[in-house]
Amino acid sequence: MADTLLETPLAAWHAAHGGRIVDFAGWQMPVQYASIVEEHLATRQAAGMFDVSHMGRLSVTGPKSLTWLDGLLTRRVSELAVGQVRYTLVTSDEGPTGLTILDDALVARDADAPDGTPRLSLVVNASNRKGVVAWLTGRLPGEGVVLSDQTRKTAMIAVQGPLAVAVVTGLCPADEAGEISALKNYRARSARVAGRPAEVSRTGYTGEDGLELVVAAADALAVWEAILAAGQSQGLRPCGLGSRDTLRLEAGMPLYGHELLADSDPFALGLGFAVNLTHSDGSPRSFPGAEPLRQLQAKPAGTVRVGLVLMGKRAARAGAVVTHPGEPGSVVGGVTSGSYCPTLDAAAAMAIIHHDLATEGTVLDVLIREDACPARVAPLPLYRRPALRT
Amino acid sequence: MSAELKFAKTHEWIRPDDGGAATVGISAYAVEALTDLVFMQLPAVGRRVKAGESIGEIESVKAVSDFYAPVSGEIIEVNAALPAELETLGKDPYGAGWLVRIRPDDPAEMIGLLDAAAYEAVVKSQPH
């Protein structure tokens, strides 16, 4: 069973349309259809659509669901308004320090059930889905919360880029189109897209404006094809996970297993915003790992996550050592993700380095296959989308 | 694809020239499989290499790959213009997209390499 790769409801479409299929976290996923660079630039300039059905989708419902999740996640879940989405960490109190980061996730409060029961959803990484489900299941109360893994019953499609919202809303009834156009970032609502029910959120992993849609597995192909048909003439393209990775790298977004690890200090990574150590009234919150996180927050982090822009074309990859040019051999940090970045037209990376060297413009060396390659420290994100588009 | 070309299983081609040297490149299949080339490093002229030894690297957006000497010998010339014009590899992999010229220690070593038909069979047996 462990060797059986999972397929998304769009797997046959990807194979029929030139997708190069790779094993990603146990799933058969398209890494690209033609060119990663072209898919990346299409997303920046028009729109890209991504099958992200491998992401884990969990639903949490029941009268106690808000307080239960509030006691487990690093964000204040109980204050979420209907339609609100937040980035959170999933932590446990296991491990030598009493803090293990199990995953990063999006937690959303969906519309209440007709009887007023709250409903929440979590989107977790494919690689961590089973671990997170096991952790949460072990902490379920005797009654009042129902946790279910919806991943295989649903599909998730990200539509990202300056034209993304217009393309998707063009497939919605007029009243819902207006509501979706008006959604703020990290807000969500349900709607009919191409005639099919969808949970639509103004979120993404590319640094562009855009939407992420969760639909029933049986509706995935119809919605996917409708979006493509509506956007293709304006430059929308299907995109694989290769360009998703270069887009999120430019956008400075962390990836679990690269920037974020089980023993990371979230404050050093610039993820302190995702750790709510107090309730809104200032009283301390309690969740697994809260005490070690309080201690981490209180002491200055010795390291920091930064961008690096290489001066040559050669890319620094994850694991490459960063050294100080003045002191050859002195390790001052490490690369967590790196690639040629199409929008920057340069090789760039994210790295975790000593705090003292994090000033913009500092020149450091990255060891790429034993060669010291100079790179400049750059603030994150490496790419920021224009504030307004006309 | 010219009949006089020989191929290594690692996707390099080699073509003997009249003066006892040989030109080396990488196959159209390999270029197509790599896609999105961004960087190439060629070996130093004068370097002595053994068959199967890495003589350079070619990097795409996704990954770095080595390329290998198909025969033992000395690197006598490299296509110095190529790293700045990587698109040439895709347009003309068996011509202007050549990588290096090698003076083989033993020209007979080329006989053991794959001919075009045998290389094609290798390619077809690989998942794409």
Which DSSP letter does residue A297 get? H
Sequential DSSP letters for A63-79? TTHHHHHHTTBSS--TT
Contact A36 B38 (CB under 8 A): no
List the CATH number of the domain containing A18: 3.30.1360.120
Last residue of a domain, one of A221, A250, A279: A250
* Same domain for A246 and A158: yes
From chain A, pick out residues whose CB is under 8 angstroms from the CB of B57. 369
* Same domain for A168 and A34: yes
Domain covering B6-120 in this structure, CATH number: 2.40.50.100
List the CATH number of the domain containing A368: 2.40.30.110
User: How many contacts, defined by CB atoms under 8 Å, are there between A and B?
Assistant: 41
Biggest alpha carbon–alpha carbon distance for chain A? 67
Asked whether the predicted pLDDT for residue B128 surpasses 80, the reply is no
Residue B114 exposure: Cα atoms within 13 Å on the Cβ side: 16
| Domain-embedded: residue A279 | no
Q: Which two tokens stand for residue B37?
A: 């080339």
d(CA A88, CA A260): 12
Domain limits, chain B: 6-120
From chain A, pick out residues whose CB is under 8 angstroms from the CB of B64. 315, 317, 369
Kindly give the confidence (pLDDT) of every residue in chain A, 390 residues in length, as a single tens digit, with 9 standing for 90 and above. 456 899 999 999 999 999 999 999 999 999 999 999 999 999 999 999 999 999 999 999 999 999 999 999 999 999 999 999 999 999 999 999 999 999 999 999 999 999 999 999 999 999 999 999 999 999 999 999 999 999 999 999 999 999 999 999 999 999 999 999 999 999 999 999 999 999 999 999 999 999 999 999 999 999 999 999 999 999 999 999 999 999 999 999 999 999 999 999 999 999 999 999 999 999 999 999 999 999 999 999 899 999 999 999 999 999 999 999 988 789 999 999 999 999 999 999 999 999 999 999 999 999 998 899 999 999 999 999 987 654
Q: Angle, to 10 degrees, between the axis of helix A36-45 and the axis of helix A241-250?
A: 60
Number of domains in chain A: 2
Altogether, the residues listed in chain B come to a count of 128
Residue of chain B nearest A245, judged by CA positions = B62
Q: For residue B47, how many other CB atoms are within 10 A of its CB?
A: 16
B100-104 and B22-26 as β-strands: parallel, antiparallel, unpaired? antiparallel
Domain that holds residue A361: 302-390
Min Cα separation A314/chain B (Å): 6
Sequential DSSP letters for chain B? --TT-EE-TTSEEEEE-TTS-EEEEE-HHHHHHH-SEEEEEPPPTT-EE-TT-EEEEEEESS-EEEEE-SS-EEEEEE-TTGGG-THHHHH-TTTTT--EEEEES-GGGGGGSB-HHHHHHHHHTS--
**pLDDT for A388:** 63
* Same domain for A41 and A163: yes
From chain B, pick out residues whose CB is under 8 angstroms from the CB of A342. 61
Asked whether the predicted pLDDT for residue B127 surpasses 70, the reply is no
Q: For residue A2, how many other CB atoms are within 10 A of its CB?
A: 4
> Which of A31, A32, A313 faces B39 most closely, judged by CB atoms?
A313
* Same domain for A236 and A159: yes
Cα A381 to chain centroid distance, Å, stands at: 14
> Which of B36, B39, B57 faces A37 most closely, judged by CB atoms?
B36
Contact A347 B38 (CB under 8 A): yes
d(CA B3, CA B17): 14
Last residue of a domain, one of A183, A218, A250: A250
| Domain-embedded: residue A370 | yes
* CA separation, residue B19 to residues B7, B13, B102 (Å): 20, 18, 11
d(CA A308, CA A346): 10
d(CA A13, CA A225): 9
Q: For residue A189, how many other CB atoms are within 10 A of its CB?
A: 18
pLDDT band at B113; cut points 50, 70, 90: very high
d(CA B103, CA A287): 68
Backbone angles phi, psi at A342, to 5 degrees: -60, -40
| Domain-embedded: residue A86 | no
